[in-house]
């Protein structure tokens, strides 16, 4: 029992570190894509509150949203926001990683206001019962 | 004086024998730990399905550069490929079959830029399409 609790504590810290690492890697790639000219706008990933209705068995207690926000450059259309979301959801490895690290909501937002799209991650990853 | 010497030597014997006992206790504990470690190595702890899924997901590689390129370039490439590789454009039975399989792959990977580039290359070689 002690070993189990200890492993859970270590696992929790490891997951925190991996969550931060995913966000950092995404932001670094987005910055590079913007600088090189692949992306017309600078994307930035961050952790948001998420939607409690999208809860699944791996979800964290708090901050379960993976939010991608478009900064500077030009304003993205709804189709472009949806395309970014679909690329992430269709990448099986990334979608699974997001789910197991406790995220349950994917949000893609524009620069201003609350305009954006939101997806429930468990719909795109086959989770057992 | 002699009394004191005798007393000291008795204490030494007592402390020496008690040291000896603790040394053996330490050796036995050490052996138990080694035994447990060996047993754990032989039979690793059972992972639940949830833990296994988590471990597998964490070990997969993520190509962030491809994700960035796919986000902004895949749609135009997909639109181009789906027109040029459509099976209806090929009347020859062999080419039609190849075009059919490529077209299905294109539809399956419409948001994966890297895979679409590979399919474009394949279409150029097998179907002789110029882009």
**pLDDT tens by residue, B105-115:** 999 999 999 99
Q: How many domains does chain A divide into?
A: 1
ipTM over 0.90: no
What is the nearest CA distance from A26 to chain B, expressed in angstroms? 6
Residue B67 CB: number of other CB atoms within 10 A? 26
Residue A128 pLDDT exceeds 80: no
Choose from B44, B52, B62, B66 for mutation: most chain A CBs within 10 A. Answer: B62
Q: Which residue has the higher pLDDT, B5 or B18?
A: B18
Structural domain of A114: 2-123
Percent of chain A with pLDDT over 70: 92
Distances (CA, A) of B47 to B51, B53, B54: 6, 10, 10
Confidence of residue A115 (pLDDT cuts 50, 70, 90): confident
Q: Are strands A105-109 and A65-71 parallel, antiparallel or unpaired?
A: parallel
State which H helix or E strand residue A66 sits in. Answer: strand A65-71
Percent of chain A with pLDDT over 90: 61
Asked if residue A128 belongs to a domain, the reply is no
Mean pLDDT value across residues B15-38: 85
Asked if residue A129 belongs to a domain, the reply is no
Confidence of residue B12 (pLDDT cuts 50, 70, 90): low
Q: How many domains does chain B divide into?
A: 2
Confidence of residue A49 (pLDDT cuts 50, 70, 90): very high
Beta-carbon separation of A93 and B57 below 8 A: yes
- Whether A32 and A26 have beta carbons less than 8 Å apart is answered as no
User: Residue B50 is nearest to which of A57, A87, A97, comparing CB atoms?
Assistant: A57
The Cα B127–Cα B92 span in angstroms is 11
Q: Assess whether B25 and B67 both reside in one domain.
A: no
pLDDT given at position B107: 93
Which pTM value belongs to this model?
A: 0.76
Q: Assess whether B120 and B69 both reside in one domain.
A: yes
Longest dimension (CA), chain B: 120
The Cα A68–Cα A85 span in angstroms is 9
Beta-carbon separation of A93 and B50 below 8 A: no
pLDDT tens-place string over residues A80-102? 889 999 999 999 999 999 999 99
- Whether A109 and A68 have beta carbons less than 8 Å apart is answered as yes
Q: Give the mean pLDDT of chain B.
A: 84
Residue A25 CB: number of other CB atoms within 10 A? 13
Choose from B60, B67, B106, B107 for mutation: most chain A CBs within 10 A. Answer: B67
Q: Assess whether B28 and B47 both reside in one domain.
A: yes
Structural domain of B20: 2-55
The Cα A44–Cα A24 span in angstroms is 9
DSSP helix/strand/coil, B43: coil
Asked if residue A86 belongs to a domain, the reply is yes
pLDDT tens-place string over residues A52-77? 999 999 999 889 999 999 886 667 78
Q: Among residues A101, A102, A107, which one has the least CA distance to residue A120? A: A107
pLDDT given at position B131: 76
pLDDT given at position A16: 92
Partners of B74 on chain A (C-beta within 8 Å) are 83, 87
Q: Give the mean pLDDT of chain A.
A: 88
pLDDT given at position B17: 64
Q: Assess whether B80 and B27 both reside in one domain.
A: no
Angle B22-B28-B30 from CA coordinates, rounded to 5° = 100
Q: Assess whether B42 and B77 both reside in one domain.
A: no
Q: Assess whether B88 and B103 both reside in one domain.
A: yes
Question: Which residue in the block uniquely carries the two structure tokens 């708090």?
Answer: A62
pLDDT tens-place string over residues B28-78? 999 999 988 887 676 666 678 888 888 888 889 999 999 999 998 999 999
Q: Assess whether B65 and B41 both reside in one domain.
A: no
């Amino acid at each position: 029992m002690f070993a189990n609790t200890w492993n859970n504590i270590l696992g929790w810290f490891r997951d925190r570190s991996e969550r931060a690492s995913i966000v950092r890697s995404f932001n670094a790639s987005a910055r590079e894509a913007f600088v090189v000219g692949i992306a017309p706008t600078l994307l930035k990933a961050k952790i948001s509150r998420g939607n409690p209705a999208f809860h699944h068995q791996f979800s964290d207690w708090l901050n379960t949203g993976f939010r991608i926000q478009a900064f500077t450059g030009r304003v993205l259309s709804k189709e472009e926001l949806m395309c970014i979301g679909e690329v992430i959801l269709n990448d099986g490895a990334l979608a699974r990683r997001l789910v197991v690290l406790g995220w349950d909501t994917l949000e893609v937002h524009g620069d201003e206001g609350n305009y954006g799209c939101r997806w429930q991650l468990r719909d795109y990853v086959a989770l057992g019962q | 004086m002699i009394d004191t010497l005798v007393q000291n030597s008795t204490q030494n014997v007592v402390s020496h024998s008690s040291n000896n006992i603790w040394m053996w206790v330490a050796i036995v504990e050490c052996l138990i730990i080694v035994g447990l470690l060996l047993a754990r190595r032989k039979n690793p702890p059972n992972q639940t399905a949830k833990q296994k899924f988590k471990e597998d997901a964490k070990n997969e590689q993520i190509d962030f550069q491809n994700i960035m390129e796919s986000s902004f370039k895949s749609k135009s490439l997909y639109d181009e490929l789906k027109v040029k590789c459509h099976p209806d454009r090929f009347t020859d039975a062999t080419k039609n079959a190849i075009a059919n399989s490529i077209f299905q792959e294109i539809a399956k990977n419409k948001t994966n830029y890297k895979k679409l580039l590979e399919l474009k290359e394949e279409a150029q070689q097998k179907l002789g399409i110029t882009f």
